[in-house]
């Protein structure tokens, strides 16, 4: 079974024959079985060369780079072997058609809001006012006639949603406003770190399909970003990332000692990253009995299934209906 591997130390990734070795700063060597790796996450300062990248490409391993502060820097993606010109043409046609694009964008938001409400309804006695505020904004989705209107509604919904964390979280983690570049408090640092993991996981699943990760519908396509992964992540951030954040804080897995602050920029320290990633991996591996497939499906695989549903929609096989967790 393929797994994700994480490197936190500084050192060098090196190819030898047909496997990978990691040498830390003290020249301690650790073997990484490349045929068992799906994604390689690098959080330390690590050297590597084209020989390593060639091997990763052969085994279709994605290499995700994060900087010293744990902020996502970029991804090395192997050559896409699952290409379909017909699918990409149809995907692009749905972007160019205003009505078709708006439909898909609304579906992404409907799913995202469903999962946000699902999270805070579990704390209904504490978060009832936020549920009401979000439901009032949801009523405006159908009337929205542009993607820009949708993004405005989404921004207000997410502000109410994150405000509810002040009543849901048991420790002294507070939310005032969303700050990203850089995060200014521990809760924002957790949200940014978790969202980065979500983006890269979604990107990895998109690359297993013929979808073009640069053609998106809710987020505007632009240069130098895989905007379709941002679109699909809207569904899975409240379904996967936020429950991990809430549980990690409320169960005291993550506390204030797991953060560093440099000139007002707050980020998870190495111990904090490791603890969060353990919870993240456990969540991705959790399986749910699928109502239609009649078998257990992991949270990670739900992302791939969402990609397949989009493909069916683009090629005219089946109208896209987004995931709305029923469990």
229-282 confidence digits (pLDDT tens)? 999 999 999 999 999 999 999 999 999 999 999 999 999 999 999 999 999 999
Owning domain of residue 173: 85-314
Q: Which pLDDT belongs to residue 223?
A: 67
Contacts with 127 (C-beta within 8 Å, 6 or more apart), sequence order: 120, 121, 164, 167, 168
Q: Are residues 273 and 303 in the same domain?
A: yes
- Residue indicated by tokens 């073009």: 212
State the total domains in the chain.
2
d(CA 54, CA 75): 14
In a domain, 255, yes or no: yes
Q: Which pLDDT belongs to residue 217?
A: 97
- Residue indicated by tokens 């204030």: 256
Binding residue per annotation — 234?
yes
Binding residue per annotation — 154?
yes
Residues of the chain with pLDDT under 50: none
**Mean pLDDT over each residue of the chain, to the nearest integer:** 94
Q: Are residues 123 and 69 in the same domain?
A: no
In a domain, 272, yes or no: yes
Q: Are residues 141 and 267 in the same domain?
A: yes
In a domain, 233, yes or no: yes
Supply the angle between the helices 242-250 and 186-206 in degrees, to the nearest 10. 140
Binding residue per annotation — 136?
no
Q: Are residues 131 and 182 in the same domain?
A: yes
């Amino acid at each position: 079974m393929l797994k994700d591997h994480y490197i936190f130390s500084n050192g060098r990734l090196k190819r030898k024959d047909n496997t990978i070795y990691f040498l830390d700063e003290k020249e301690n060597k650790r073997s990484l079985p490349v045929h068992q790796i799906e994604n390689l996450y690098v959080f330390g300062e690590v050297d590597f060369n084209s020989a390593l990248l060639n091997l990763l490409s052969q085994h279709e391993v994605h290499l995700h780079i994060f900087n010293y502060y744990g902020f996502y820097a970029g991804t090395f993606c192997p050559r896409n072997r699952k290409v379909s010109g017909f699918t990409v043409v149809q995907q692009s046609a749905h972007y160019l058609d205003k009505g078709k694009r708006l439909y898909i964008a609304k579906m992404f938001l409907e799913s995202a809001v469903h999962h946000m409400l699902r999270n805070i309804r579990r704390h209904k006695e504490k978060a009832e006012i936020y549920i009401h505020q979000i439901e009032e904004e949801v009523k405006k989705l159908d009337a929205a006639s542009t993607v820009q209107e949708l993004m405005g509604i989404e921004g207000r919904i997410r502000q109410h949603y994150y405000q509810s964390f002040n009543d849901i979280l048991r420790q002294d983690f507070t939310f005032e406003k969303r700050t990203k570049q850089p995060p200014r408090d521990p809760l924002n640092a957790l949200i940014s770190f978790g969202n980065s993991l979500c983006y890269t996981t979604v990107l990895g699943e998109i690359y297993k399909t013929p979808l073009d990760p640069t053609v998106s519908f809710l987020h505007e396509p632009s240069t130098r970003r895989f905007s379709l992964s941002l679109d699909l992540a809207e569904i899975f951030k409240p379904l996967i990332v936020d429950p991990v954040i809430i549980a990690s804080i409320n169960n005291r897995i993550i506390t204030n000692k797991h953060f560093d602050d440099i000139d007002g920029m707050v980020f998870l320290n190495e111990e904090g990253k490791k603890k969060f990633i353990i919870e993240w991996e456990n969540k991705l591996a959790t399986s749910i009995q699928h109502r239609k497939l009649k078998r257990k499906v992991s949270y990670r695989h739900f992302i791939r299934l969402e990609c397949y549903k989009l493909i069916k929609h683009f090629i005219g096989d089946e109208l896209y209906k987004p995931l709305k967790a029923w469990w």
